[in-house]
Amino acid sequence: MDAFAQGLLEILKGWGVSDAWLPDTVTTGLILKAIFAVVVVLAIMGCCLYTVLLERKTAAWAQGRVGPSITTMPLIAAIPLVGKVLTYCGFIQPLADGGKLFMRQEPLPEHVNKFYYCLAPCLALAPAIITMVMIPFTSYINPETGEETALMLCNMNPGFVFMFAISSLGVYGVVLGGWASNSKYPFLGSIRGSAQMISYELSLVLAILPVVLITAGTSDNPLSLFSIVQGQGGFWNIILAPLSAVIYFVALLAEMNRQPFDMPESETDTVGGFHTEYGTFKFGLFFTGEYLHMILGSILFVMFFLGGWHALPFMPTLGLDGVLGTLLGIVCLVVKVIFMLFVIIWIRWTVPRFRFDQVMRIGWKLLLPFAIANAVAYFVFFGIYETLLK
């Protein structure tokens, strides 16, 4: 981040801004981090809203409908042409949806455990936001030294391990919400949810091991997300470890409670699942948490397997460096994440829900053995490669 700040200062100086107006490098770094933190949280929350829009639009397309296309705002409607296009795309719809959740009367059922009932939505949302801290959104390459630094709030060494640890806490929101609701459907939903998340967590992590092994070949710190993305300057991991990608993706769907694994809230058999008793803003928090998990999952998948912010295999920056390269990296990441989100939503509107016994069978009897076999295969391969071939 400091390096990025320095680069930015130099660009500003190059534009003729005098030194007196500019702070020193460290201060700039701190200011940038603060701005970055606020921007990240706001952007991610905004992304949540627009992911909902993407969900609604994709659902509409998959069903031959138009989807939200009427909601508008006076100012936006007044813009010629663009206003119409934005309206047709449902640009304002998420704001209306969010506003509706805010403005509704806030019910608090009589029979619930009030404290945990209110705590559960926060628990569902908080881990997802915390993990955002550790995501490198792109890198900055110093044009002069060629040194790469990550554009992230906190580049921890254990990296994604910490991230998995935190994001797994999201299940507590589900469990607590279902239990505190003191009602049978939420209870059933939360039990299913916790069982499912625990089952798929194993495969999820096992599927990453080959990626770590691959990264270990190029980096000293293979557990850091930044190193993993850096390692994909050539081949992307999806090419090097395709089975891992598939296993990871399936487990990811289950972790995110997305169709076909949305056991905790399957409307048809448990009404609304764990959030049956929730409404308005508290429901909104669950809802946002769910979509945050989805965005986070997509980002991680992109980081692990799709080359992160790299534009193309073997052409990570398309020859751009410095601040321009950084911006290109962000654009690439955003495009890839949107694609992943689309794929996830696309699957939801294609595949029906699994039965709970099927979920368990797939998790334990199919996914886990494959994940173990896959990991062992790479161990063996790298063992042979390291000891014999080198």
Partner 1 sequence: MATQNIKVITRKPLRWWEKLYIPQVLAGMKITLGIMLRKPVTLKYPFERPVIPKGYRGVPTLVKDQNGREKCVSCQLCEFVCPPKAIRITPGEIDPESGNEHIEKAPAEFEINMLRCIYCGMCQEVCPEAAIVLQGEYSLNGYSRSGMINDKKKLYELGGTIPDPVRKWDKKKRA
Binding site for partner 1 (CB under 8 A): 58, 60-66, 69-70, 246, 346-347, 349-351, 362, 366
* Residue 203 Cβ vs partner 1, minimum distance, rounded to whole Å: 14
Q: Cβ closer to partner 1: 116 or 349?
A: 349
Beta bridge partners of 150: 139
What are the residues whose beta carbons fall under 8 Å from the beta carbon of 245, sequence distance 6 or more?
Answer: 207, 237, 238, 301, 304, 305
Q: Cβ closer to partner 1: 64 or 74?
A: 64
* Residue 193 Cβ vs partner 1, minimum distance, rounded to whole Å: 21
* Residue 69 Cβ vs partner 1, minimum distance, rounded to whole Å: 7
Place of tokens 């790298």: 382
* Residue 47 Cβ vs partner 1, minimum distance, rounded to whole Å: 22
- Could you give the CA distance from residue 153 to residue 160 in angstroms, rounded to a whole number? 14
Prior bond of 260 cis (ω within 30°): yes
How is residue 312 annotated by DSSP?
B
Q: Cβ closer to partner 1: 59 or 216?
A: 59
Beta bridge partners of 140: 149
For the range 148-156, what are the long-range contacts, defined as Cβ-Cβ under 8 Å and sequence gap of 24 or more?
Answer: 148/230, 149/1, 149/2, 149/3, 149/4, 150/1, 150/226, 151/1, 151/4, 151/36, 151/326, 151/329, 151/330, 152/1, 152/226, 153/33, 153/36, 153/37, 153/40, 155/224, 155/226, 156/224
* Residue 74 Cβ vs partner 1, minimum distance, rounded to whole Å: 18
Q: Cβ closer to partner 1: 157 or 350?
A: 350
Helix axes 368-384, 184-216, angle to 10 degrees: 10
Q: Cβ closer to partner 1: 162 or 346?
A: 346
Which amino acid is it at 312? L
Helix axes 93-103, 280-305, angle to 10 degrees: 140
* Residue 287 Cβ vs partner 1, minimum distance, rounded to whole Å: 23
* Residue 270 Cβ vs partner 1, minimum distance, rounded to whole Å: 23
Q: Cβ closer to partner 1: 30 or 60?
A: 60
What are the residues whose beta carbons fall under 8 Å from the beta carbon of 35, sequence distance 6 or more?
Answer: none
Q: Cβ closer to partner 1: 328 or 344?
A: 344
**Helix, strand, coil percent content, the chain, rounded in steps of 5:** 70, 5, 25
* Residue 208 Cβ vs partner 1, minimum distance, rounded to whole Å: 19
How is residue 140 annotated by DSSP?
E
What are the residues whose beta carbons fall under 8 Å from the beta carbon of 129, sequence distance 6 or more?
Answer: 41, 44, 292
Q: Cβ closer to partner 1: 76 or 246?
A: 246
Q: Cβ closer to partner 1: 154 or 338?
A: 338
Length of the chain in terms of residues written: 390
DSSP letters, 148-211, are EEEESS---SSTHHHHHHHHHTHHHHHHHHHHHTTSHHHHHHHHHHHHHHHHHHHHHHHHHHHH
* Residue 129 Cβ vs partner 1, minimum distance, rounded to whole Å: 31
> CB 31: neighbour CB atoms within 10 A?
12
Q: Cβ closer to partner 1: 56 or 282?
A: 56
* Residue 62 Cβ vs partner 1, minimum distance, rounded to whole Å: 5
